[in-house]
Amino acid sequence: MDGNSATLFAKTPPIKLFFLAALPGAVSMLASALYQTLDGVFVGQYLGETAFAALNLAMPFVIINFALADLIGVGSSVPIAVSLGRGEEREAHNIFSCSVLLIVLAGLVSGALLYILAPTLMSAMGAEGEFALLAGQYLRVYAICSPVTTLVFAMDNYLRICGYIRGSMWLNILMSTLSGVLEFLFLGVFRFGIWGAALATCLGMAVCALIALIPFLRGRALLHFTRPRMSAKMLKQIVACGSPNFLNNIAGRITSIIMNAILVRTGGETAVSVYGILMYVDGFVQPLLYGMCDSLQPAVGFNWGARMFSRVRAIERCCFGASAVVALCSAVLIVIMPELITRLFVSNPEPSVMAMSAGALRLFALTYITRWFSFATQSYMLAIEKPLAASLISVSTALIFPVILIAILWPLGLTGIWINFPATSLLAGVMSFIILRRLKPQLNRADGE
């Protein structure tokens, strides 16, 4: 490992390391979250409520399309960081090279399947007519661009491992800015349909994915491309370390699909739009938590591989504390301005829409009172190579708890859907506390070795 990265991860005081690594990561994710929010705002304001509902109906499948790339990107970054901490640079180069190849191949396969199945999927969700047509158009653009756009998430991890923390941040800012400008031009100036919104995002992602490859192709980064040598052991390690995020993405999207199908049949486009507003709010807050925790994973993994366990705990205290502050501040903001949030996504909302959205947002805000704890715990377990514990938290939060609560809260109707989020978060927090308590003796033994 080069001296700069080793010094950053192993020698920098934990609080200073947090500001050097986690804050740029949070800013990167904030830039991405701002664009995702603008995506919903542009579609809602320029194309109307039906298009906004169609976007939210298709979005779970769009995220599923990126899930395999995220599995490989996150799953490979953990063993890469640990290998570098152990001084096994050749192994790190090979994992990196194999992972990039796997991401491109996965993008080809998943993109082809989604393009073919798009109309069938929207019909199965209960959408009809223009609603189904717009959702299918949006999904198919992402499917076509999949082989290139899926690279962007993994390259973000690799850049941070190589010490390009600020470079990763600026690349994310560029991607969000470029996508936002293109979407404004496509929708506001050229008056393209909903497919223009998807194309703007894909072009921004593709450009930045290619830029991110430059330091690796020129041999200037810590990680180098080598002739890939696949092995069953390496693939198993990537899958094991990437499974928590992958399962969270897949499980969360399955939950969204189930909820959208219920909402289409019980509340129509309006209910789907309100659910979409909640998801956009979550899509703004959660990337901030993810950006801080994920940016510290290379440092945690490096110190864990180097058996510097006291530094691991010190870094994680910063992660937990910062996550709590961000989550609780977000809850307060959501509670005090639900009407403003609603008007961002729905132009001239009817009183009934405003009432439904404001009530849903206030209930949804309770989610962040406890969500930070399970999120930080999941990231911690993943960074120290405890993928089973991280996967348990991930799948329970994204799928098991919400589905169980759908059945329990069914008599409450739409209110039960909105209460589902804070109730799930509370259960996940309790589970995370239990996992940390049970792992504490094991971690203490490791510290004493």
Q: What is the dihedral of CA 434, 436, 439, 443, to 10 degrees?
A: -160
Token couple for 155:
């390259």
C-alpha 391/C-alpha 387 separation (Å) is 6
Residues 6+ positions from 124 with CB-CB distance below 8 Å: none
C-alpha 52/C-alpha 399 separation (Å) is 24
Tell me the C-alpha to C-alpha distance, in Å, between residue 13 and each of 159, 162, 184.
Answer: 22, 19, 43
Give pLDDT tens digits for 385-400: 677 888 889 889 988 9
C-alpha 99/C-alpha 93 separation (Å) is 10
Give pLDDT tens digits for 36-79: 788 888 998 999 889 998 998 999 899 888 888 888 988 898 88
Residues 6+ positions from 449 with CB-CB distance below 8 Å: 307
Q: Is the pLDDT of residue 190 over 90?
A: yes
Asked whether residue 5 is assigned to any structural domain, the reply reads no
Identity at 58, one-letter amino acid code: A
Give pLDDT tens digits for 113-129: 999 999 999 999 888 89
**Closest C-alpha to 258, from 112, 57, 83, 42:** 57
Asked whether residue 6 is assigned to any structural domain, the reply reads no
Token pair 């799948």 is found at 395
Please give the pLDDT value at position 4: 54
The tally of domains found in the chain comes to 1
Asked whether residue 77 is assigned to any structural domain, the reply reads yes
Q: Is the dihedral of CA 438, 440, 446, 449 positive or negative?
A: negative
Identity at 365, one-letter amino acid code: A
Q: Is the pLDDT of residue 196 over 90?
A: yes
Tell me the C-alpha to C-alpha distance, in Å, between residue 258 and each of 135, 220, 263, 346, 419.
Answer: 16, 46, 9, 23, 16
Cα–chain center distance at 250: 11
Please give the pLDDT value at position 2: 47
Identity at 272, one-letter amino acid code: V
Token couple for 268:
């129509």
Query: What average pLDDT score do residues 301-316 get?
Result: 75
Give pLDDT tens digits for 227-260: 899 999 899 888 888 877 787 778 888 888 899 8
Residues 6+ positions from 202 with CB-CB distance below 8 Å: 141, 142, 144, 145, 149
Please give the pLDDT value at position 296: 72
Under 8 Å between Cβ of 226 and 94: yes
Please give the pLDDT value at position 1: 46
Under 8 Å between Cβ of 368 and 288: no
State the chain's mean pLDDT as an integer. Answer: 86
Give pLDDT tens digits for 9-20: 667 777 777 777
**Closest C-alpha to 157, from 1, 2, 25, 313:** 25
Give pLDDT tens digits for 219-232: 888 898 998 999 99
What DSSP assignment string belongs to 279-332?
Answer: HHHHHHHHHHHHHHHHHHHHHHHHHHHTT-HHHHHHHHHHHHHHHHHHHHHHHH
Question: How many residues would you count in the chain?
Answer: 449
Q: Which domain holds residue 71?
A: 12-448
Per-residue pLDDT band at 448 (split at 50, 70, 90): low
Which range is most confident: 32-36, 163-167, 281-285, 407-411?
A: 407-411
Token couple for 434:
């239990």
Helix-then-strand count for the chain, H and E: 18, 0
Please give the pLDDT value at position 74: 83
C-alpha 96/C-alpha 79 separation (Å) is 10
Give pLDDT tens digits for 397-447: 988 999 999 999 999 989 999 999 999 999 999 999 999 888 776 656 555
Give pLDDT tens digits for 332-373: 999 999 999 999 888 778 888 899 999 999 999 999 999 999
**Closest C-alpha to 155, from 216, 244, 90:** 216
Please give the pLDDT value at position 421: 95
pTM tops 0.85, yes or no: no
Query: What average pLDDT score do residues 133-146 get?
Result: 96
Tell me the C-alpha to C-alpha distance, in Å, between residue 391 and each of 245, 248, 251, 301, 421.
Answer: 8, 8, 11, 17, 19
Token couple for 228:
């890939």
Asked whether residue 2 is assigned to any structural domain, the reply reads no
Q: Is the pLDDT of residue 3 over 50?
A: no
H/E run at residue 38: helix 23-42
Token couple for 67:
């899930």
Please give the pLDDT value at position 389: 86
Query: What average pLDDT score do residues 92-104 get?
Result: 93
Asked whether residue 1 is assigned to any structural domain, the reply reads no
Buried residues in 288-321 as b, exposed as e (16+ CB within 10 A): bbbbbbbbbbbbbbbbbbbebbebbebbbebbbe
Q: Is the pLDDT of residue 165 over 80?
A: no
Per-residue pLDDT band at 130 (split at 50, 70, 90): very high
Per-residue pLDDT band at 7 (split at 50, 70, 90): low
Asked whether residue 7 is assigned to any structural domain, the reply reads no
Query: What average pLDDT score do residues 308-323 get?
Result: 82
Please give the pLDDT value at position 331: 96
Asked whether residue 54 is assigned to any structural domain, the reply reads yes
C-alpha 282/C-alpha 359 separation (Å) is 16
Asked whether residue 80 is assigned to any structural domain, the reply reads yes
Please give the pLDDT value at position 8: 63
C-alpha 375/C-alpha 423 separation (Å) is 15
Q: Is the dihedral of CA 260, 274, 391, 121 positive or negative?
A: positive
